[in-house]
A and B are shown apart, each in its own frame.
Chain A
Amino acid sequence: MTVLVVAEHDRGALAPATLEACAFARSLGEPVHAITIGAAADGLVATLAEYGVSVVVQAHHDLLADYGPEAWGETVAQLVRQYQPTAVLATGTDRGNEVMAQVAARLGLPMVANVTAVTPGEPWTITRVRWGGSLLEECTLAAGTKLLTIAHHSLEASPAPVDATTEAMAPDLGAELARTMVVERVERAAGVTLATAALVVGGGRGVGSAEGFTPLEELASALGGVVGCSRAVTNNGWRNHTDQVGQTGTRIAPDLYIACGISGAIQHWVGAMASKTILAINTDKDANMVTKADVAVIGDLHQVVPAITAEVRRRRGA
C-alpha cells in the first residue's frame, strides 16, 4: 500500500506546503508516491525525491496546461481508482482544499480538511483545526482511501532523500472540464505585501476613523513596513479588505507586528499569531491582544505611535 501526495504547484513552481505534506505522508509509515499535474511540473521529481517520494506519477493532458480545479480533481480521482492508495494527502491551502474536495466529490468519499495529526486504526482517529486554528476537532474517518489535507505549518518539511522513478499518466478528461480552467492571469506586482512583510503596523477599532490611520502609515513607512487592520476596521469602511489581517483576511508572519488599538478577537488573532514578536499598544491592559502579546505599551495609540515615529527619526538623524 502507498500514500499518495498531490503536489501543489503553479505552472511548475512547487508550493512549499507540498513538502510538509510529503513529510506528513512519510510519518504514516508506507511508501510515499506523488502525482504532479501537467507537463509544467515534470521538473519537480528531484525535489520530491529529496523529501522522500519514491515514485512520481506525471499526468499529462491538454486540459492540464494550467490550473483548473475540476480537471485536477478528476485526474487525481482516476489515479486513486487505479492505485487504491491507503491515503491521499494534499496541501491545506486554497488550491489543495479545492482539489481534494473535487476528488472527494468524484469518488463519493469523505475528506478531512486541515489535519494536524493522524492515528491509523479502524477507523482512523484524526485531529484537525477549526476556526483557523483556535480550536481543534478530534474526528474519526472511515473510508477505503482516506482523503486528507494537511494544515499548513503543522509540521516541519524535513528532507529524507530517496531515489525516485517516474510513471506517465494520461488521464481521460472530458472537454467540458475546460469550463473551470484559468482563462486569464494578472501577475502580482513585485514589492512587499502584507503576507510577506517583515514589519506590520496594524490598527483596530481604537484607531477611530480612516484618517486615524495616518500616524500608522507614517510609522510603517519610516520602518519599511506595511499597514494592516482588523475586521472591525474594514466593516466600518475605514480601509480596504486587502489590508485585513485575520481568519477571513490575510495571515501574516512578520518579525514584528505592532497591533494598535486592537482588542484581539479570535477572528484577528488567528491571522496574526504567526508573527514572531507582537507589540500591542492599547489603553486597556487587559485586552486580549495585550495579554497575548510579547511586549506592550499601555496608552493611547494616537499619542504613542507618533512618539515612536519621532524617536525612530531622531535616532536615524543622530
Chain B
Amino acid sequence: MLALQNVTKHYKTRRGTVRAVEGVSFEVRPKSTLALVGESGCGKTTIAKMILQLERPTAGAIAFEGANTATMNAAALKQYRRQVMAVFQDPYASLNPRLRVGTIIAEPLLAHENPGRAAVEKRVADVLDIVGLPATAARLYPHEFSGGQRQRIAIARALALRPRLMVLDEPVSALDVSIRAQVLNLLADIQQEFGLTYLIIAHDLALVEHFSDDVAVIYLGRVAEAGPTAEVFAQPRHPYTQALLAAVPQPDPDHVLNEAAAAGEIASALDPPSGCRFHPRCPLAIERCRSETPEPRGTPHQAACHLVEA
C-alpha cells in the first residue's frame, strides 16, 4: 500500500545539518495498522510529514501503491492527496475556531471535487453520523464541543473524501483517559467498515500493542526494530526496544520498573553518535557498535543491532 525506501531527511541549519531521518524503510500493508514508536526528536513526525507531502525527502522514495510520489505529475499528486488524510494530536489546534463544523468538514470536499451544495451537506451529515455526532453539529463552532468530540470532528473531516490511508499523529494523547477508549474504538470501527489503512504515531506503548498490527521502533532517525507488533512486543530484540518496554510504568503496584534500562538521554540529531546511534545509552554496547552502523537483520521481525543473530 505505502512503502518507504531508504527515506532520508536532512535540514540545513546555521549550526549544521540536522539528520532527522536517515535511511528509513518500511511498508504499510493494505487495511492494516502500522505504528511508529519512539521518543520526541526521533523523527517520527518528520516521517509523517513526508508521507503527507508536507516535506520532501532529501533522499529515498515514498511509493503509494507502487507509484513513486516524487515523480507524480500534478494530477496524480492531487489524487494521492485525497487518498491520504491526517488526524493530528491536538483537536484544539487543528480545527479553525472561526469556522462552523460543517464548513470545516466540507473544506476538503470543496477543494477536491465540489459536488454541489446539497451533496456536500449530505456528505457532511453522513460523516458526522459515522463519528457519532448529530447532524445538527454542523451548525456549531468547535469551542462548543469537548476535546473528545473535537477529535471526532477532525476524524469526520479526514473521512469526508473517503481516503484509503489515514496518518494518525498521536490521535488520543491530548484526550482524557475515559475519552481515549471511545475515540480508539471509533477509529477501529471505521477502519473495519471502510477498509482503511492506518499509520499511527504514538508514544504510549500499551496503546500501540493494543491498536497496531505492525510496529517500527525509531531511534534518532533510524529504524531500530520493526515487525509484527505481537512478535516485537513479546520478544523485543533491540536493546532500545527492550529499554522502552522496561521503562513503561504499568497500572500494577507489583510491577517493578527497570530504572537502569536506558541511562542518559537521546543525543542530538545535529551530531548523532557514530555507528549504532543507541550505543552511548546501550547497556550491551561493544566496540563494533561505536564504529559500524548495524544493518537490519531478520524478516519480517527485524532488528538493527550487531548483537542480534540474523
A and B: partners? no
Residues of B within 8 A of A (CB): none
Residues of A within 8 A of B (CB): none
